[in-house]
Chain A
């Protein structure tokens, strides 16, 4: 009888708080994945049931709820987290109970836990490509601006070092803003930008204040054609929170954009619209959250056991036809082989893809010194 028991999994995406836009999209990615798995007969006839809590974008809540999911709800596998601070709060708990966390978010690297699978981009899968593209098209005088936490600090270190490999490069400023910064807070930054006239602005602003940054930029009357914002974190979700056209002409580097014209992506988006009635804003974190659910289900079908020791051998090295392309979990570092892309925001608030990798790029989370001109970072130009 136990063979027909549902499989309970834990879900921790922030549905409220400063990172709730991304959190909600990640939740929808997970739920879509679960629906597909259950409609295909579950896992050997067993239904997947999600137990989900809202950590409200507060790291301490993530830790408490992880403990609750494991101890009270008895789950073995948890899907969740966005900001690094939330992941760092969850890791000690999953390590203590020897459970597994799937983390579907780009982050700054320099981490490996045998209890975590990382399905978002490491810096060698997004920063290097962005630096290459921006410096060769706009110049190497950069103005760095980010939210005040660890991911922007480390991303800016990497970007600063990358642009310095170009002639005539200059790091004009490195600014950090509160997670709840408003357009008014950015006004002074825009005045400084007007003074310093960078070739481009590198933004690692995350969450709700992203819209405020682009608003302040537009209010300042700057032109994205000559001084665009380049970002790793401004996705379709953040753009959907802006007034129409506000982000047009700016750039983002990500392994996934909604506008990818593959059959897998188009079919997946159609199912998503059906499931959530068009209320959903798919983006890079949504996609990672979606495909990692299938990676888990496929591994569980093979292992037949949710225990981490039984599950992990079937996760490592496994592949999946994700909306971005055929991805693979790297067996040595638990990160994922992904397809870097550069997109320019068009008038519909979608990304026109201007560069993309034809082969997946191996994750190298412990890379200290990134280099421009690395052939693995070279992307194919698209005619647009």
Chain B
């Protein structure tokens, strides 16, 4: 009994994902039919700022956090460049069919969640919060991955550059590193940058060497 009481003590805290609901800007790219109305009205009840668009738009206003988009047989041929952009809003597809053609179109949009037609008010809030959370996580993972990749490339360049200097100037690895670091300091740039330049220059020179021989 007490154990349950103790674990529950911390349970009732409002997640930040819910606190931001009323500041979200939402685009509803959907015909003005029963589903479109249900969707818009429920979003307004939740307290989101909603803007409707139809026919589908190729450019979204800035600052849209989430886009609901109807995926219908007559619009699956369209490409939405904004949906593929790095800072694209979270996309939630509204579907009337779930045959492979439609599912393919949903995948192509990079949708984070799907809302079946007929649209019901129940379940929308949870879908909204989860889709946004997944999308945010995905975006932050992508950014971290890109940073890690750049870091890795930099490390490889540094190793290569040190090797180049060690052979060309007959120095130790530590001395090679110090040379690179000094250059970076005087040129006010990063070690990785200097390393990349050395590797690049060495490739160009050795190419020239090949031609001479």
Contacts and interface: CB of A to CB of B under 8 A. Distances in A.
B and A form one assembly: yes
A369 interface: yes
Interface in A148-162: 153, 156-157, 160-161
Contacts of A174: 5, 8-9, 11-12
A176 B5 contact: yes
A365 B45 contact: yes
A332 B19 contact: no
A366 B12 CA distance: 17
A176 B47 contact: no
Interface in A138-185: 153, 156-157, 160-161, 171, 173-176
Interface stretch (A106-114, A287-295, A298-306, A308-316): A106-114
B8 A368 contact: no
Contacts of A111: 122
A318 interface: no
Interface string A109-127: 0111110000000000000
A113 B121 contact: yes
Interface string B8-23: 1101111000110110
Contacts of B96: none
A367 interface: yes
Nearest to A368: B18
Interface in B17-41: 18-19, 21-22, 41
A152 to B, nearest CB: 10
A112 B12 contact: no
Contacts of A113: 121-122
- The B contact surface, by secondary structure, is helix
Contacts of B14: 157, 161, 368-369
A173 B9 contact: yes
B51 interface: no
B46 interface: yes
A366 B122 CA distance: 12
B42 interface: yes
Interface residues on A, range: 20 to 34
B185 to A, nearest CB: 51
B45 A173 contact: no
B102 to A, nearest CB: 25
Interface residues on B, range: 20 to 34
A153 B4 CA distance: 14
A160 B14 CA distance: 10
A367 B12 CA distance: 16
A125 to B, nearest CB: 16
B145 interface: no
B45 A333 contact: yes
B171 interface: no
B122 to A, nearest CB: 7
B125 interface: yes
Interface in B132-163: none
B41 A332 contact: yes
Contacts of A160: 12-13
B44 interface: yes
Interface string A362-384: 00111111000000000000000
Given A110-B125, A112-B121, A114-B121, A366 B9 contact: no
A366 B45 contact: yes
A175 B121 contact: no
Contacts of B125: 110, 366
B12 A153 contact: yes
Contact of A156 (B12, B41, B44): B12
A366 B19 contact: no
A110 B12 CA distance: 16
Contacts of A366: 21, 45-47, 125
Given A368-B22, A369-B19, A173 B122 contact: no
A367 B42 CA distance: 13
Interface in A214-229: none
Given A174-B8, A175-B5, A367 B45 contact: no
Nearest to A160: B12
Nearest to A366: B46
A191 to B, nearest CB: 12
B12 to A, nearest CB: 4
12 contacts: A112-B42, A113-B122, A157-B12, A173-B9, A174-B5, A174-B12, A175-B5, A332-B41, A332-B44, A332-B45, A364-B47, A368-B18
Given A113-B121, A368-B21, 14 more contacts: A113-B122, A153-B11, A156-B12, A157-B14, A160-B12, A161-B14, A171-B9, A175-B5, A332-B45, A365-B45, A366-B21, A366-B45, A368-B22, A369-B22
The 8 closest A-B pairs by CB, nearest first: A157-B12, A368-B18, A366-B46, A112-B121, A333-B45, A156-B12, A174-B9, A366-B45
